[in-house]
Structure 1
């Protein structure tokens, strides 16, 4: 049986470059380009006519986190994500200290184009988190 060595998270989106830039800024990632190409547009132009599709990607410069890949699709987002990312900024924090860290990150991400949906307060089982949307409405949490 093969061992999984890497995981890539793929986003279907309308504007791959825009969404990739957003997530790169959120996570401190860098552009991930096809080998031998300076841009995704250059790569796209190298493909046969009729096979050009808009893509983009970003990756963790440390190599620890998964690569994020963004591909243009014709349909828009119509329902809640079945899978979402958790941006872990409050790990190990509780109470007011955790809320302050979550709110600070929320403020930073809203300035990047994210939308705050709601604060889910600590309930005795789970710590607080903030539900948000990225620049194309994909849900994610700050926790």
Structure 2
């Protein structure tokens, strides 16, 4: 039997810290501590060549249950729809108008942080409602 492995989710982006801090707010994650010997990330980044400073950001679930998120700077911008995306599970166990109200309230909170609502998909008798969104740099995700 194969062992269960931990995994992280990696985002390519232009501004790793900005996008990473957005996702910390979305998920209640905490930023990774600075490397040993540094009081903060700014101090660490000042020791690097300018082009390497701020090249990545990481955060994790403080409970240790969720995967680590890693954000890395890449030179190219996003040009196509993601082939994978995160489903942020805020409506689990809820149905109908109650579910939609919870999803819309969370969408409003995330829009205030810089997210964009792409589409509200209403319950259709087969599937429950969900809201398709994009983060600060256009990474797609769903409120589910």
In the TM superposition, what is the alpha-carbon distance from 1:34 to its structure 2 partner?
5.1
In the TM superposition, what is the alpha-carbon distance from 1:27 to its structure 2 partner?
0.3
In the TM superposition, what is the alpha-carbon distance from 1:45 to its structure 2 partner?
4.8
Equivalent in the alignment of 2:84: 83
In the TM superposition, what is the alpha-carbon distance from 1:123 to its structure 2 partner?
2.1
Equivalent in the alignment of 2:63: 62
Measured against aligned partners, the alpha-carbon deviations of 1:52-87 in whole angstroms (never above 9, x if no partner) come to 261001110000000100000000000000010000
Equivalent in the alignment of 2:20: 20
- Indicate whether 1:8 and 2:41 are aligned: no
Indicate if the aligned counterparts of 2:13 and 2:71 stay in contact, CA closer than 8 A: yes
In the TM superposition, what is the alpha-carbon distance from 1:122 to its structure 2 partner?
1.4
Residues matched between the structures, number: 142
Aligned-residue Cα RMSD (Å) equals 2.0
**TM-score, length of structure 2 as denominator length:** 0.89
Indicate if the aligned counterparts of 1:15 and 1:72 stay in contact, CA closer than 8 A: yes
Indicate if the aligned counterparts of 1:45 and 1:52 stay in contact, CA closer than 8 A: no
**What CA distance in whole angstroms lies between the structure 1 residues aligned with 2:51 and 2:104?**
43
Equivalent in the alignment of 2:129: 128
In the TM superposition, what is the alpha-carbon distance from 1:39 to its structure 2 partner?
3.9
**What CA distance in whole angstroms lies between the structure 2 residues aligned with 1:119 and 1:76?**
26
**What CA distance in whole angstroms lies between the structure 2 residues aligned with 1:11 and 1:119?**
24
**What CA distance in whole angstroms lies between the structure 1 residues aligned with 2:8 and 2:141?**
17
